[in-house]
Amino acid sequence: MKRDDILTAYNFRHACKSFDATKEIDTKDFHLIMETARLSPSSFGFEPWKFLVVESPALKEALKPVVWGGQGQIPTASRIVICLARKMPHMKYDSEYIQNFMTDIQKLPEEIVTMKGHFYKKFQENDFKILESERTLFDWSCKQCYIALGNMMTTAAMIGIDSCPMEGFDKEGVEGILAKKAGVDLTSFGVAYMVAFGYRENAPMEKTRQMKERVIEVI
């Protein structure tokens, strides 16, 4: 792939605060964005995510008051994705989800399942102390979801689509709505982030970043 095209996409991307509500994202393009989320890497390959594509107008209306700037992005975005991260009951080393995942999805032979399971337990218990609390494990699941977030926004930018990542919302409020109106099981899932896609209405502000020398250090 051309190096310049990659950089052009990174410079094109910005947090788009308001979209042109008359422009729809082509279904094929949206599928491509979501496919790069699905193919994203995650710790141990356990894909601790689920992506909800919000299409219901009633749901959008319900979300507006609990999302910052929800008045601007939610009604104008062509697509809104809510990423759910899996919690303790799915992600703990001895869960059914993990056991099934290794056999059914990763198709690992029995001895590898045992070995990988052993490493995963050690990883969760010792190295990063992920089992310290429900929150710690949830945050770790969320980290993996942010890999997919970066990839979705980059893919969008590469095909000329704007995006806006959203962390600014009343988490409990959003989760309450999702449980009530979309049947989301909050014992196993929590909201990691939202991200809106569409086409910009206005020119973005100039991108600012720290200088390379402040961010990258050779040791």
Whether 92 contacts 117, CB under 8 Å:
no
54/74 Cα distance (integer angstroms)? 10
Considering only 16-24, 70-78, 87-95, 130-138, which stretch makes contact with a second copy by CB under 8 A? Answer: 130-138
**50 binds a second copy per the rule CB under 8 A:** yes
Q: In terms of CB distance, is 23 or 146 closer to a second copy?
A: 146
Site residues (CB under 8 A) for a second copy, limited to 110-129: 119, 123, 126-128
> What is the bridge-based pairing of β-strands 79-86 and 162-166?
unpaired
Site residues (CB under 8 A) for a second copy, limited to 83-102: none
Query: In whole angstroms, how far apart are CA 138 and each of 83, 148, 197, 211?
Result: 13, 16, 25, 33
Give me the least distance between CB of 22 and a second copy, in Å please. Answer: 22
Give me the least distance between CB of 203 and a second copy, in Å please. Answer: 17
Q: Which residue in 16, 150, 199, 202 binds a second copy (CB under 8 A)?
A: 150
**52 binds a second copy per the rule CB under 8 A:** yes
Query: Which residues on neighbouring strands pair with residue 189, listed in sequence order?
Result: 86
**27 binds a second copy per the rule CB under 8 A:** no
Q: In terms of CB distance, is 139 or 201 closer to a second copy?
A: 139
Give me the least distance between CB of 79 and a second copy, in Å please. Answer: 10
Query: Which residues on neighbouring strands pair with residue 163, listed in sequence order?
Result: 15, 197
Query: In whole angstroms, how far apart are CA 117 and each of 99, 107, 113, 196?
Result: 8, 14, 6, 36
Q: In terms of CB distance, is 59 or 91 closer to a second copy?
A: 59
Report which residue type is found at 10. Answer: Y
Q: Which residue in 77, 88, 91, 142 binds a second copy (CB under 8 A)?
A: 142
Count of residues of this chain found to bind a second copy when the rule CB under 8 A is applied:
80
Sequence-distant (6+) residues with CB within 8 A of 126 are none
